Amino acid sequence: MTTFVDNVTLHLRAGHGGNGCVSVRREKFKPLAGPDGGNGGHGGDIILVADPQTTTLLGYHRAPHRSSANGGPGMGDHRAGANGGDLELPVPLGTVVKDRDGNELADMSEPGMRFIAAPGGQGGLGNAALSTTKRKAPGFALLGIPGYEGDVVLELKTVADVALVGYPSAGKSSLVAALSAARPKIADYPFTTLHPNLGVVQAGDVRYTIADVPGLIEGASEGKGLGLEFLRHVERCTALLHVLDCATLDPGRDPISDLDIILTELAAYPVPEGQKPLLERPQLIALNKIDVPEGRELADFVTADLEERGYRVFEISTVSHEGLRQLSFALAELVEQGRAEIAAEPPRERIVLRPSAVNEQDYTVKVEGGSYGDIYRILGVKPERWVAQTDFANDEAVGFLADRLAKLGVEERLFKAGAIAGSTVVIGKGEGIIFDWEPTLTSTAELITAPRGTDARLDGDRRRTSDERRSTYFERMDAKAEARAELEREREAGLWKDSDHTEGTAMETEER
């Protein structure tokens, strides 16, 4: 809606976590004195910070790739790796953070507000931290997790310092054009302006922004005319400027009653929590169109009344540019005062936004059909993180992963989903990590999850049929008979002495 919307896509790469260390302490006369491998450091976060001193996203246009530091690896002697420092990126107030699909992630509206746009990776535990009473000397450590890598889109809605309000055709857009380089549409019919126009004014050393708002009429708060909807574009303004038309030909209208009606409508506008109601902000009055003789007369006539009500009044013409200089300096003064007040305010409690929280305990088991049979896919924060932490070249580390998965109840869930021994199980998206599943559960109650009358144990191909058993039995019997016959032949041939005979008997007992 507003003009001057700045837009930039940031490519972020947060620091990776450092790997944990495997190390064993050595002491004199005690070469294996316990594990002492330190933990890896955490990768640094990339944090957006709403900063009143920053006014543009230009710096990010020029350098859109940003990354934070990696965590250091753990070391022996219980030395932990250093954490990677966070990277803070200042953004102007009013910056809206979105993902690539346009979903809003954060509105950086409060000074000092922080948004963790890319969290750093967790460091891996060293073998010292992994030792327990049961596992006294772990021969493995956990790997560090990669930091978040992805894009965010920053959108800046420029926030006007001064909002110009008034009736349609009062000359608001003309005034924006006269004070700044902006060239909004100007015409002699009501509601020419359909969205706010923004202009930058330079008055002496002070530079500030002004925005006109579509004209307001009586009943605007009930939706008449274009309603009050557009005031949200200026609801963060420091000051208001009432533009009053002194040369209107409408019967029944005059600057004073126009002002009263606008004030009533503005009073009905609900500002967001934590902001000053519009009418409690500083306000100036511009009596416009004094290049028209009747206009000047009327302006002179009402000035005293308005001043009595406490307003500073400026008689101006956007055509002849009379009075504009004084007006622009008076506005600059208000803006400067407002800025000083904000700077003097005690810093608000820091608001920290994190990327949408997910339930870490949650995971899903999905069955996917494939050309090699069913695949059981496990998706979830914890299982996927654990896999990332596992050094698959280390059997102990793999065993530790299996224990963790079992504790989470993954086996039971796989059974319920229909997995059997030898099924293909994938953890994570895409290729993920692929396992041939070997269940460790053995108790009958857990095994019998199939309908009554069937039993998962019978489905396995490891159980022999009775035919198979019978044939092995006969094979063995034949072999025994063969061995006996052989011994008999040897004895008859006189190869045996009596004392050796016992061996044959012993062999037979063993065979039984």
Ligand X SMILES: Nc1nc2c(ncn2[C@@H]2O[C@H](COP(=O)(O)OP(=O)(O)OP(=O)(O)O)[C@@H](O)[C@H]2O)c(=O)[nH]1
Q: Which residue numbers belong to the known binding site for Mg(2+)?
A: 173, 193
- Residue count at the site for Mg ion (CB under 5 A)? 3
* Closer by beta carbon to Mg ion, 143 or else 231: 231
* 170, interface contact from ligand X, Mg ion, none, CB < 5-8 Å by kind: ligand X
Q: Taking the CB of residue 386, how many other CB atoms lie within 10 A of it?
A: 20
- The minimum distance between CB 319 and ligand X, in angstroms, equals 4
- The minimum distance between CB 278 and ligand X, in angstroms, equals 18
Quick one: CA torsion of 409, 414, 420, 425, rounded to 10 degrees? -110
Q: Does 174 help bind Mg ion (rule: CB under 5 A)?
A: no
How far is residue 164 from each of residues 296, 314, 333, measured CA to CA in Å?
21, 14, 16
- The minimum distance between CB 266 and ligand X, in angstroms, equals 15
Location of structure tokens 């260390």: 21
Q: Which residue is nearest to ligand X (CB)?
A: 215
Binding site for ligand X (CB under 6 A): 166, 168-174, 186-188, 190-193, 212, 214-215, 247, 288-289, 291-292, 317-319
CA–CA gap between residue 493 and residue 85 (Å, rounded): 90
- The minimum distance between CB 191 and Mg ion, in angstroms, equals 8
Distance of CA 328 to the CA centre of its chain: 42
Q: Does 173 help bind Mg ion (rule: CB under 5 A)?
A: yes
* Closer by beta carbon to ligand X, 43 or else 323: 323
* 36, interface contact from Mg ion, ligand X, none, CB < 5-8 Å by kind: none
Please say whether the beta carbons of 216 and 265 come within 8 A: yes
Region 177-206 residues binding Mg ion, contact defined as CB under 5 A? 192-193
* 51, interface contact from Mg ion, ligand X, none, CB < 5-8 Å by kind: none
Q: What is the DSSP letter of 33?
A: -
Location of structure tokens 């035919």: 467
Q: Does 283 help bind Mg ion (rule: CB under 5 A)?
A: no
CA–CA gap between residue 327 and residue 58 (Å, rounded): 31
* Closer by beta carbon to Mg ion, 193 or else 318: 193
CA–CA gap between residue 86 and residue 68 (Å, rounded): 6
* Closer by beta carbon to ligand X, 137 or else 319: 319
- The minimum distance between CB 304 and Mg ion, in angstroms, equals 29
* Closer by beta carbon to Mg ion, 94 or else 190: 190
Enumerate long-range contacts of 323-330, CB under 8 Å, 24 or more apart: 323/286, 323/290, 324/178, 324/179, 327/179, 327/241, 327/284, 327/286, 328/179, 328/201, 328/203, 329/203, 329/204, 330/284
Provide the strand spans (E) within 129-194. Answer: 149-156, 162-165
* Closer by beta carbon to ligand X, 109 or else 173: 173
The binding site for Mg ion (CB under 5 A) comprises 173, 192-193
